[in-house]
Structure 1
Amino acid sequence: MLHLTPLKSLLLASALALLAATPASAQEKFRVITTFTVIADMAQNVAGDAADVSSITKPGAEIHDYQPTPGDIKRAQGAQLILSNGLNLERWFARFYQHLKGVPEVVVSEGIQPMGISAGPYSGKPNPHAWMSADNALIYVDNIRDALVKYDPPHADTYRRNAEAYKEKIRQTMAPLQARLAQLPANKRWLVTSEGAFSYLARDYGLRELYLWPINADQQGTRNRCARLSTP
């Protein structure tokens, strides 16, 4: 029989306790990567501390025609889930995704009713900025929740709970905005922007929308176009 001194017994017990705790403490979080920062913000609200969420593109980056780097591909390959907007927002993503192996993708705009782009070279194509509608944003959150539950089931309850709290936060944020906008007289219900990215919001709140170009492309912001916007 092995006889241990009190000191050796204490050291052995401490070592066993440390080994038992190591897998849980050293275990990496579920890794989620998104195509741009709006989806990353939504996903982070749903994930909370249960997952590590990051975006391929940085704040302020041109999302439509982004040029991915080898580092972007490497980071994405290390993820366990990729969330994209779809609706042809990320025109670079299909080719980017071909470089990845075994990383599932979920399109978070699935289930929304897209508006068509009304002018310019993209006329008739779906307007990809669907999250600008609060109702659509709730669909995005549901899709993100379902994706996280599917691919990281041990934290399913956390994702469901966080998603409901986040959806309520969205509702509470939009309610006073809707009330204030409803007070605007009809002749002042205009929303003027550079890109036609707010069409869903304008539709939901009864605003008339004017923009320089339907999809970001600096060459479309001509002097004549700017002049026309000044006299709608």
Structure 2
Amino acid sequence: MTRLLAALLIWFSLPADAARAEDSRLKVATTFTIIADMARNVAGDLAVVESITRPGADIHNYQPTPRDLVRATGADLILANGLNLELWFQQFLDKLGDVPTAVVSEGIAPIAISGGDYDGKPNPHGWMALDSALIYVDNIAAALAAADPANAAAYRANAEDYKARISATIAPLREAARTLPEPRRWLVTSEGAFSYLARDFGLNELFLWPINADAQGTPQQVRHVIDTIRVTGAPAVFSESTVSDRPARRIAAETGARYGGTLYVDSLSDAGGPVPTYLDLLRVTSATIVEELKDD
């Protein structure tokens, strides 16, 4: 801890990036890439938005570095997910000083985690459903407007446009999921990160471990999912991009279910990857689920 704080002091004492120092726009830091992309869509050219964590990072087990926190130096506003997602980051964010922070999940109906060390605590993956995504966007617009009142109308207009694009992309996929035959409405994944999507799409949820910070792929977890699939006939098993797919593939092989492929939930990819934006992440994940759960 002492070495890290010393390193932070060194980083913070360095001259700021010249381009950033001359930029008078609102400076916004977010705790991870998904919120950063949402904020960029709402802010447009009116703010500079930086994600503290990088593309591809597992946000549950992430260990921040001095360089990560330097990206938040001088921020006018920090956007956080809340729902206990950033507990590992709070002590470091406190070192940035008195920076206004907005929790973008405020107002969604939380779903409790079932099982594991976090049993009963709110599932933090609220961004993974259409209904709650629109709440996130509204909260981001309100936070930007409060930090930069002169551009409040532009932030609200951008937010309405962005919400319309999200709805136009995801609403048809949600409707397709809701019309699946009842026996095929099973979403089986490695992490229990899709509770909000499952609720929104009318799917039953089954997972190996509740959250990535818990034990992953234990024999007991694997056996429980295998036994449940044999009873329910769930047609496919998925895994997430930030964890090993081996447990999910083993379950598919032992039950006769298909391995449905990779879902994206905790992080965007880099610009050349399959989900460089939040809308891509929602679209690719939702479309993969619907396609794999349809009748053969």
**Matches for 1:182-193 after TM superposition, within 5 Å:** 182-193=178-189
SS in 1 for 2:110: coil
1:120 paired to 2:111: no
**Matches for 1:128-207 after TM superposition, within 5 Å:** 128-207=124-203
CA-CA distance at 1:218 after TM superposition: 6.6
Q: Matched residues in 2 for 1:72 and 1:99: separation?
A: 13
Q: Matched residues in 2 for 1:131 and 1:199: separation?
A: 10
Partner of 1:209: 205
Partner of 2:78: 82
> How many residues are matched?
207
Could you tell me which amino acid in structure 2 is paired with residue 30 of structure 1?
L
CA contact (8 A) 1:192 1:211 kept: yes
2:221 to 222, 225, 229: 225
Q: Matched residues in 1 for 2:176 and 2:222: separation?
A: 28
Partner of 1:12: none
Partner of 2:27: 31
1:53 to 49, 52, 60: 49
Partner of 2:91: 95
CA contact (8 A) 2:174 2:200 kept: no
Q: Matched residues in 2 for 1:86 and 1:93: separation?
A: 11
Q: CA offsets per residue over residues 163-190 of structure 1, 9 Å max, x none?
A: 0001111111122112211231111111
Q: CA offsets per residue over residues 62-114 of structure 1, 9 Å max, x none?
A: 21232111222222122111000011111212211210113211111111121
CA-CA distance at 1:197 after TM superposition: 0.6
Q: Matched residues in 2 for 1:78 and 1:91: separation?
A: 22
CA contact (8 A) 1:109 1:140 kept: yes
Moved over 3 A (4+): none
CA contact (8 A) 1:40 1:55 kept: yes
1:68 paired to 2:64: yes
SS in 2 for 1:83: strand
Could you tell me which amino acid in structure 2 is paired with residue 58 of structure 1?
R
Q: State TM-score, norm by structure 1.
A: 0.84
SS in 1 for 2:71: helix
Which stretch of the first structure deviates more once superposed, 214-223 or 53-62? 214-223
CA RMSD of aligned residues (A): 1.5
